[in-house]
Amino acid sequence: MVWPLRALLLRDLKLAARDGAALGTALGFDLVVVSLLPLGLGPDVALLARIAPGVLWIALLLSALLSVARLFEADHQDGSLAVLRSAPVPLEIVVAVKIVAHWVTAAVPLVLATPLLGLLLNLDANAYGPLMAAMLLGSPAVSAIGAIGAALTLSTRKSGLLVALLVLPLYVPTLVFGVSAVDAGMLIEGGGMAPLLILGALSLVGLILAPIAAAAALRAHELA
């Protein structure tokens, strides 16, 4: 089973690299949100530094949401999804591979761009380490939760809006503990591990449960 999964992962990675539109849109949206905020708030450097972690987390969530809404759309349109559903590999495993591919091609580049965007918000130098660690641990949950919404809204009109309505409330715990991890890492000597551990647990639970829920939604869509 390892070789088919590896082939599927490489296929999704190559398609994402060849297309580039989803990543470009996500990075562009991330940059626009972060660059416009200082203009709206004015030259209050202390205020920007205080709200920077929350703003960067929100920008990450919204930017990743732009690409995760189309996670299964291309495969559905060209018939690849029907082939994957009938493959010997369980559909849950296929969905898990696609979640990992989305995380690598969409979420990780957004996380890597965070230090540059933090400069625009006067992010405290001590916050970069905790923020990057929190985003790397919490971003898999973003892709996993988004996959459920993408599967539920497959082939529906205005699916992007529906996905946002479905999954944004589920992103709240990741956002809360993501910002808490930055605050704890700056205030507690040696870094606060509790929020980071919770973020890791959220991502782990998401990677386990999301493929099951998304696969069930895809099967229900096939029967509809």
**b/e string for 43-76 if b means 16 or more Cβ within 10 A?**
eeeeebeebbbebbbbbbbbbbbbbbbbbbbebb
* Total-model pTM: 0.88
- Residues of the domain holding 186: 2-223
Q: How many domains does the chain have?
A: 1
How far apart, in whole angstroms, are the C-alpha atoms of residue 22 and residue 41?
Answer: 29
Residues 6+ positions from 200 with CB-CB distance below 8 Å: 137
What does the pLDDT profile of the chain (224 residues) look like in tens digits? 566 778 888 888 887 777 666 677 788 888 888 888 888 877 778 888 888 999 999 999 988 888 887 788 877 777 778 777 777 788 899 899 999 999 998 889 989 999 889 888 888 888 898 899 999 999 999 999 999 998 888 877 666 678 888 888 999 999 999 999 888 776 655 556 888 999 999 999 999 999 999 999 888 876 65
